[in-house]
Structure 1
Amino acid sequence: MADAQAEMFKYFEPTVQWNNLQLSNIHTLASWGIGTAAGVLGLTGWNGFIFFLLNWVFLSTLVFFVKCQGKPAVFFKSSAMDIAVTPIMNTMLSYVLVWTLMHALVYIYD
């Protein structure tokens, strides 16, 4: 019983929500920047997705070691899952939107 109660009060929910909001902002802004870079560089097809995945790994590593000081369990409930895995689909959708927009602006509408 004591372990369940300790686990329940391990995290202060407003702080966890604030951390998730900040992480979401980092992912969104990074996806816009990475999408802009991919569009301007003229990446198409799988090259663009590989570019995204490489940058995603780099960004997740930075957040893990710089922002969380290597201890994401202190800041997030599911630790590394919240940083790298959970937001990848939403971030990829933003990336594809900006990537195609920038590619169209630079290469199609010359």
Structure 2
Amino acid sequence: MAEQADLYKYFEPTVQLNTLALSNIHTLTSWGVGTAAGILGLTGWNGFIFFLINWVVISGLVFFVKCKSKPSVYFKSGFMDIAGSTVMNTLLSYVLVWTLMHALVYVYD
């Protein structure tokens, strides 16, 4: 009976809107962080560690500021939606912008 009650707990259009907003936050911040990593000249593992640190900071800010430490109100999977939902797509965007900015700043010196 508890599973049936969980089916009606969330209004699906609102959950989809929250997920879209979260995806936009992660994507836009990955572009900014990728730009910063490229301009700073980070290469190799340093760039990926920089991404990981920023991913944790952004996820923490979304968790504490936007969700007010209650992500299960806004997302079906709670914290897992915030921390792991779009990590691979965001990582690909980050690497694209990181390498572009690094090439623009350092290759043509």
Scaled by the length of structure 1, the TM-score of the pair is 0.96
Task: State the distance in 1 between where 2:60 and 2:86 align.
Answer: 14
Letter in 1 for 2:101: M
Structure 1 residue aligned with 2:53: 54
Task: State the distance in 2 between where 1:21 and 1:4 align.
Answer: 25
Amino-acid identity (%): 75
Task: State the distance in 1 between where 2:108 and 2:12 align.
Answer: 48
TM superposition shift of 1:85: 1.4
* Mapping for residues 1-110 of structure 1, pairs under 5 Å: 1=1, 3-110=2-109
Scaled by the length of structure 2, the TM-score of the pair is 0.97
5+ residue gaps in structure 1? none
Letter in 2 for 1:104: A
Residues matched between the structures, number: 109
Two-structure CA RMSD over aligned residues (Å): 0.7
Letter in 2 for 1:29: L
Instruction: Tell me the SS of whatever aligns to 2:69.
Output: coil
TM superposition shift of 1:68: 0.2
Task: State the distance in 2 between where 1:86 and 1:50 align.
Answer: 19
Task: State the distance in 2 between where 1:85 and 1:15 align.
Answer: 19
TM superposition shift of 1:5: 2.4
1:18-70 CA-partner distances (Å, limit 9, x unpaired): 00000000000000000000000000000000000000000000000000000
Task: State the distance in 2 between where 1:48 and 1:30 align.
Answer: 15
TM superposition shift of 1:6: 1.2
5+ residue gaps in structure 2? none
Task: State the distance in 1 between where 2:57 and 2:3 align.
Answer: 36
Letter in 1 for 2:25: I
Moved over 2 A (4+): none
Instruction: Tell me the SS of whatever aligns to 2:43.
Output: coil
